[in-house]
Amino acid sequence: MKPTTYYAVIFTSQRNEGDHGYSEMADRMDELARKQPGFIDAESVRDAAGSGITVSYWESLEAIRSWKQNEEHLVAQEKGRQAWYESYKVRICKVEREYSF
Amino acid sequence: MKPTTYYAVIFTSQRNEGDHGYSEMADRMDELARKQPGFIDAESVRDAAGSGITVSYWESLEAIRSWKQNEEHLVAQEKGRQAWYESYKVRICKVEREYSF
């Protein structure tokens, strides 16, 4: 069951050229995130020009904080800044309402 | 100047096959949204498989409501359900904090 109040992490990024081990790590981080307490779901899209948006959904700000501090994730974040991203931005949001088709 | 408190609309969608006038309308909606009162910015990514995430940023919930009710946008929304999207989901969120690299 999805809780009434939940949070979204919007991660917008621009990849640089070449893989440099990125794809493997991205798959691993997705796998690891899904095992975190409070994880609800994640959606990710990247186009051919390297622009990407990933949105992950969490039960609480505490769950987001724990994931940010996860040891393996910290290594990936450092690698991201060194080797994979030209730029990125993270926004932590409270979902106020939703509807779908 | 970006206001201290602002809102994000996360629009995740799955396009169907073929264009059916979609690209032209998407460009027009982007152009129109940027002219709305309270619009801050928008980012959009769609991959080759038709999965897309668009996030737009707004100064207030009122600004989001006005854009949703914009006449030309209402026509596009109807066309979206009829002709362009297999599915979509809209989440309206309050941005709690952000950081970038």
A61: contact with B, CB 8 A cutoff: yes
Judge if pTM exceeds 0.90. yes
Q: What are chain A's domains?
A: 6-95 (3.30.70.100)
Phi, psi of B82 (to 5 degrees): -75, -40
Give all strands of the β-sheet with A39-46 in edge-to-edge order: A39-46, A51-58, A7-15, A85-100, B85-100, B7-15, B51-58, B39-46
Q: Which residues of A touch B7 (CB under 8 A)?
A: 96
Summarised one tens digit per residue, pLDDT across range B19-38 is 999 999 999 999 999 999 99
Q: Is the pLDDT of residue B2 over 70?
A: no
3-state DSSP call for residue B58? Answer: strand
